[in-house]
Chains A and B, each alone.
Chain A
Amino acid sequence: MSETPSTPSGIFRFLDKTGRTTVAGIEEVGNGGLMVLESLYWLFLGFRVKQPVRLNAVIQQMTEIGISAIPIIALLAGSISTTLAIQGIYTLRIFGAEGHVTAGLAFIVVREFAPMITGILVAGRSGSALAARIGTMKINQEIDALKVMGINPVRFLVAPPLIAMLIMVPCLSMMSNVVGLFLAGIYINFELGISLAAYLDQIIDILKVEDVLQGLGKSAIYAIEIAVIGVVNGASVRGGAEGVGKATTRSVVQSISAIIITAMVVVILTTL
């Protein structure tokens, strides 16, 4: 009896799917990188071809991404910093060292938590909105409409939110530092009796400029990640409203994952 060709086994299908997913992922990263470069081109050289990035579009995005997010980011930065202060005092009290809580708190808030919480909230609010907006525009042929009008979609749709995020995420992160440390200071004052002035002096003594810059640098990286992931997911939408929903969800999950992984990589690199 002649052998009949066997159907692809589960392992081959798995490898095939894994390979395709990997290639698609690499393609998305490449598209994201190209969009960042193209956005920078339009930002710095767009005026030479009479197609500048519109300042009012950037300001509008800065308002949506930054100003509107101030209350929720302040609330969460304050809550998390206070929680860290409570847990820090609880842990250090075991060793009789609760008076040193300010040092740990200052480092972890400025270098890690303030940029991370800010990034996660911006990803949830603005990264998802960006993916939904671009996805909806794509299925409604609005991106095609831009192209046929001779308007570059990257200049019109990608550069303004990218620039706005690069400006506003570090600003919001700085605000998170201030609000978080201030509210934690109130709790420490209440719990340990350290005056706010003494608490502030301790923070100024402990923190170096590099610590603040590290946090702000991370915020800038998070900003690029959020914008690029939002745009790439929005641009890959297929299949109508359901596709927009999937892209929005993917965008949030990927942005938050990217932020947390970046935080880990940076802390490993800077403490080695």
Chain B
Amino acid sequence: MADSETQSTEKVIEVEDLVTHYGERKILDGITMDVRDGEIMVIMGGSGSGKSTLLRYLMALETKTSGTMRILGRDIDDLSSQDFVDLRKKLGVAFQGGALFSSLTVGENVMLPLYEHTKLEIQTMEIMARMKLQVVELGGFEDLMPAELSGGMIKRAAFARAVVMDPKILFCDEPSAGLDPAVASALDDLILTLREAMGMSIVVVTHELESAFKIADRITVLDRGKILMIGTVDEVRSSKNERIYNLLNRVPEDDTMDPDEYLARLTGEDFDIGNQPL
């Protein structure tokens, strides 16, 4: 479990009664949660529970149907497009696959936010990028192309790019996915190191229990678009809720689902929440 001394009671994200639809289908239903300054909030849930979708809304990448959302004290409904740009400079995101730009070197990827949003000299940007790469233990890799890195190294480089502007909030989507246990554990350590070194709030979406228990100050458990509970690691572990028990003990969801509902989900129309125009 993470050290909770670094967090305060100030809230950097406040979500109240968030409801989202995709067509007729309700994806998130009445989500109310908050993230405190300096805390690591893990969003956990089974496949299709809506955790990655919730993350996209927390990052203000999607338009909600109803509810209110405040990020760093600003209601996102009141933001102009320039306010959005200014807000996003304070957010960092490490995507599941890294999302490094394949046509740029690792160093250029890390420098990109600085290049677009600051008027620093190129040499200064290069120094800052090298420093961030050293933090994620990728010093000396700045001239390589993303295709020349391993999966774990790509994720580390993505972390370096995500924190290069010293964001107030860092979002991580499935940081351990697709990695061997040793590399996944090292990434968990990196998340804790980043929080300790930079004091940022971190929101992590994961379905890896071991990872969640290692890094979380609090855990939000999602199930079918609704929050089952929000609590500390100990509170989640000792929960009597049947669905949380099933999740923690890896009971397959399909064994607990009503057969009619299961069939309805199987035959339901495919959707892709990320399929939006540019």
Q: Are A148 and B277 in contact (CB under 8 A)?
A: no
At the interface with chain A, which of B22-30, B35-43, B90-98, B242-250? B90-98
- A234 (CB) vs chain B CBs: closest residue: B278
Q: Are A147 and B277 in contact (CB under 8 A)?
A: no
Does A153 sit within 8 A of B, measured CB to CB? yes
Q: Are B84 and A150 in contact (CB under 8 A)?
A: yes
Q: How far is the CA of A143 from the CA of B93 in the complex (A)?
A: 12
Q: Are B61 and A147 in contact (CB under 8 A)?
A: yes
CB-contact partner of A140 in B97, B116, B278, under 8 A: B97
Assuming the contacts A35-B278, A151-B116, A238-B275, asked whether A142 and B99 have C-beta atoms less than 8 A apart, the reply is yes
Q: Are B277 and A235 in contact (CB under 8 A)?
A: yes
Assuming the contacts A140-B97, A145-B93, A145-B95, asked whether A51 and B278 have C-beta atoms less than 8 A apart, the reply is no
Shortest B52–chain A CB gap in Å is 11
Residues of A near B91 (CB, < 8 A) are 148
- Some 13 contacts from A to B, beta carbons below 8 A apart, are A35-B278, A134-B278, A140-B97, A141-B274, A142-B99, A145-B99, A148-B59, A150-B84, A150-B88, A150-B113, A157-B278, A235-B277, A238-B275
Assuming the contacts A148-B59, A150-B88, A150-B116, asked whether A141 and B278 have C-beta atoms less than 8 A apart, the reply is no
* Interface residues as binary, B106-149 with A (CB distance below 8 Å gives 1, 0 otherwise): 00000011001100000000000000000000000000000000
Residues of B near A143 (CB, < 8 A) are 278
- A28 (CB) vs chain B CBs: closest residue: B277
Residues of A near B92 (CB, < 8 A) are 148
Shortest A155–chain B CB gap in Å is 9
Interface residues of A in 100-148 (CB under 8 A from B): 134, 136-138, 140-145, 147-148
Q: Are B61 and A148 in contact (CB under 8 A)?
A: yes
Residues of B near A136 (CB, < 8 A) are 102
* Interface residues as binary, A153-177 with B (CB distance below 8 Å gives 1, 0 otherwise): 1100110000000000000000000
In this complex, the interface size class of chain B, counting residues with CB under 8 Å from chain A, is 20 to 34
Q: Are B99 and A140 in contact (CB under 8 A)?
A: yes
Q: Are A150 and B278 in contact (CB under 8 A)?
A: no
Interface size on A, residues (CB 8 A): 27
Does B82 sit within 8 A of A, measured CB to CB? yes
Across the A-B interface, give the 3 residue pairs with the lowest CB-CB distance, nearest first.
A150-B88, A145-B99, A141-B99
Residues of A near B116 (CB, < 8 A) are 51, 149-151
Does A189 sit within 8 A of B, measured CB to CB? no
Q: Are B95 and A141 in contact (CB under 8 A)?
A: yes
Does B272 sit within 8 A of A, measured CB to CB? yes
Residues of A near B275 (CB, < 8 A) are 236, 238
User: Which of B91, B93, B96 counts the most A-chain CB atoms under 10 A from its CB?
Assistant: B93
Does B262 sit within 8 A of A, measured CB to CB? no
Q: How far is the CA of A223 from the CA of B201 in the complex (A)?
A: 46
Residues of B near A35 (CB, < 8 A) are 278
Residues of B near A149 (CB, < 8 A) are 88, 93, 112-113, 116
- A237 (CB) vs chain B CBs: closest residue: B275
Shortest B105–chain A CB gap in Å is 15
Q: Are A144 and B95 in contact (CB under 8 A)?
A: yes
Residues of A near B278 (CB, < 8 A) are 35, 134, 143, 153-154, 157-158, 231, 235
Assuming the contacts A49-B82, A143-B278, asked whether A150 and B95 have C-beta atoms less than 8 A apart, the reply is no
